[in-house]
Amino acid sequence: MKIGVFDSGVGGLSVLKKIKEKIDFADVIYYGDSINSPYGNKSIEEIQELCLKIGEFLIDNQVNIIVIACNTATAAALETLRERFTSVPIVGVVQPGATMAIKQSKNKKIGVISTPLTAKSGVYEKAIKGLNPKYDVFQKGCDLLCPMIEKGWESSEKNTEILKSYINQLPDEIDTLILGCTHYPLIREEIEKVVDKKIVDPAEETAMHVLFELNRLALKKGVKKSRKEKISIDYFITGDVNKFKEVGERFLGEKLSNIYQPLIG
């Protein structure tokens, strides 16, 4: 079996990392659209067009499931992709993140940091209130964080202050903070230094959802799952391959190979 994972760049590696921890019987194609990063400052129509091209690429490479490892793309294009590509299940990161936050929060006040587009869409508030309308959701769009992480975040007093400036705009009474951009887990240690809330990384619950869907598919198609000693991962990166490799290896703690540039951008 084969999993297709895509993001606007390196952020989706936070989802891939959790998938690797939980699924040992399926290979992966990872698509990082770094040449078009960040998605958070684009129009919904632009994001949908980019996601449809990526979806076609993954379908052509015969994936059994598509994982939108990007909150902005999930907010803008999840339903569009599901309408276009009906042959495979498509999983986003928002609903799993919302589910996890509800489990974590005790006072029903949840904060979300994300790209501006994800915040503007209100997608987390809709998802959380759809599960339980008694929860209050506060969202903050952070326009600088994704590009800074994509280029390779450096620990510095200046960067810490930028991070604080965004988080401080959320109400102090929240007890749970959702990392509403898959890039943010790459700097989780930095975030934990300035936040005293429970932190929710939607990647964990997303990986569980992917595992559930693959098990369902295997049962439906009569596919025998066989554990692999090491799953195969092919990376297709539209932008700077060397920068992706540098940031990705730092986050995953291992050497990355099988990195290619796709013919579409």
Question: Is 181 noted as a catalytic residue in this protein?
Answer: yes
The rounded distance, in Å, linking the Cα atoms of 92 and 209 is: 9
Helix ranges (H only) for the chain are: 13-22, 44-60, 71-84, 94-104, 116-121, 123-131, 145-151, 157-167, 188-194, 202-221, 241-252
> Is the Cβ–Cβ distance between 99 and 67 less than 8 Å?
no
Active site residue 146: no
Count Cα atoms within 13 angstroms, Cβ side, for 129: 9
Catalytic residue among 51, 142, 146, 181: 181
Tokens of 18: 């959790």
Q: Give yes or no for a cis peptide into 133 (omega within 30° of 0).
A: no
Q: Which of 51, 70, 142, 146 is catalytic?
A: 70
* Nearest in space to 75 (alpha carbons), one of 112, 120, 141: 120
The sheet carrying 90-91 orders its strands as 90-91, 65-68, 2-7, 27-32, 233-237, 259-260
The catalytic residue positions are: 70, 181
